[in-house]
Amino acid sequence: MATEAANGAPPRLTHARVLRIAVPIVLSNATVPLLGAVDTAVVGQIGLAAPIGAVAIGAVILSTIFWIFGFLRMSTSGFAAQAKGAGDEAELRAVLLRALIVATVVGLALIALQLPLFALAFRVSPASAQVETMARDYLSIRIWAAPASIGIYAITGWLIGVERTRAVLVLQLWQNLLNMALALWFVLGLGWAVKGAAAASLLAELSGLGLGLWLVRSAFGLPGLAEVRARLRSGPALRRMFGASRDILLRTVLLQLAFTSFIFLSARGADAELAANQILAQLLSITAFALDGFAFAAESLVGQAIGAKRPGDLQRAIHLSFQWGLIGAGLLTAALLLAGPAIVALMTTAPDVRAVAAGLLPWLVIAPLLGFASWIWDGVFIGALLTGAMLRAMLPAVALYALTLALFVPTFGSHGLWAALTVMNLARGFTLWQRRGQVLALAA
């Protein structure tokens, strides 16, 4: 696992290198939301709105809880990239082991605290009694995947940081193809409905963790293990990890509260409105995760450039990431414009849900072009480990989101919800752009 820094100059930062990192991530990230989208689509074949709403509420509760700990994915990527750029192999291995230890502890704690966590979630969510009952069944099964889900964040971040993005693609494809097959079997074949969707996701996530550990097995090798163990207890490294994790955690909480409020506010309307917003939100997640492939490339290349103290590579990494992000956003917008109605029709057979989704579809079509800058800047700041700056940039964006909700939702309903999400993404991009000088200074 020798690094380029140890063997000489790293590869030139070219379009080809960016695409070698980004394209597997684009493909793998597009499959990440499929754990929820496949559940939604399969349950949607039942032809009723309530099961779709139950999966929507259950999935958003778990994604909120799990992604609060998504700081492991982000901080692990940044620390791994900088350790790789600096040629520090012992620290590179220690980064992964620290993250996996944290994932195990957090996952077990979530399982132990599931009852009060779910009680709090349903107190906030005003869904109908039928939807809530089904959602509780979904949650009681999928919560057992907590250590696996959070552990996969750590593994994925480490693989991205060391440019092993093809391994990330293999991991995500395996996990989501298995989830799709099991969901079809459990829900439509065995008639388990919402419980079947949850069981499919649980088994897929557990198998994903096993494959992920096999993919990073080189980090557990015996050569140099004594030094790696010593690094695990390093005071400065632990303080940096927990400092970055704290900042990213707070930033993620704010972001997830915004997305969670979107679904919960949708639940105040009819079940068809909740289901339509859930379907479009899943499609938005797929587009965002796909464009995040270029953001993840920025994480790896920015982090390595800073670790190696190469200011020219740093600036070029930012430039190329944005260039390809814009191209990707344009292609996704065109695809949604042409195929959006057909995709919605595949997601549900309920006529009322299709009708509501059709009216909201223009918001989804313009989302990639208006949101890609915020996602690319996220990758730049994560690679630079400027987590405090990310947190401060998020505060005004969330404030504008809340203001837009208050002004537009009472009058425009779901259109107001989508307007608020759009405003927040635009504000995130602008506030991070204002702080770009802090990134450039790190490699000077």
Q: Kindly report the CA angle at 351 between 332 and 30, in degrees rounded to 5?
A: 25
Residue ranges per structural domain of the chain: 18-442
- pLDDT for residue 206 is more than 80: yes
Tens digits of per-residue pLDDT, 124-165?
766 677 777 778 888 889 999 999 999 999 999 999 999 999
What's the whole-model pTM score? 0.81
List Cβ neighbours of 191 (8 Å cut-off, separation of 6 or more).
none
CA separation, residue 34 to residues 42, 46, 86, 285 (Å) = 11, 18, 36, 9
Q: Is the dihedral of CA 119, 255, 368, 166 positive or negative?
A: negative
Q: Which residue has the higher pLDDT, 444 or 340?
A: 340
d(Cα 418, Cα 409) in Å, to the nearest integer? 9
- pLDDT for residue 4 is more than 50: no
- pLDDT for residue 226 is more than 90: no
**Rounded mean pLDDT, 190-199:** 85
d(Cα 262, Cα 250) in Å, to the nearest integer? 19
pLDDT on residue 31: 65
d(Cα 365, Cα 362) in Å, to the nearest integer? 5
**Rounded mean pLDDT, 334-338:** 92
**Rounded mean pLDDT, 95-108:** 93
pLDDT on residue 7: 45
Average pLDDT, the chain: 86
Per-residue DSSP letters for 43-107? HHTT--HHHHHHHHHHHHHHHHHHHHTTHHHHHHHHHHHHHHHHT-HHHHHHHHHHHHHHHHHHH
Q: Which amino acid is at 24?
A: P
Q: For 41-50, 291-300, 384-393, which range has the lowest pLDDT when averaged over its residues?
A: 41-50
Per-residue DSSP letters for 143-186? GGGHHHHHHHHHHHHHHHHTT-HHHHHHHHHHHHHHHHHHHIII
Please count the residues of the chain: 444
pLDDT on residue 2: 39
List Cβ neighbours of 112 (8 Å cut-off, separation of 6 or more).
none
- pLDDT for residue 435 is more than 50: yes
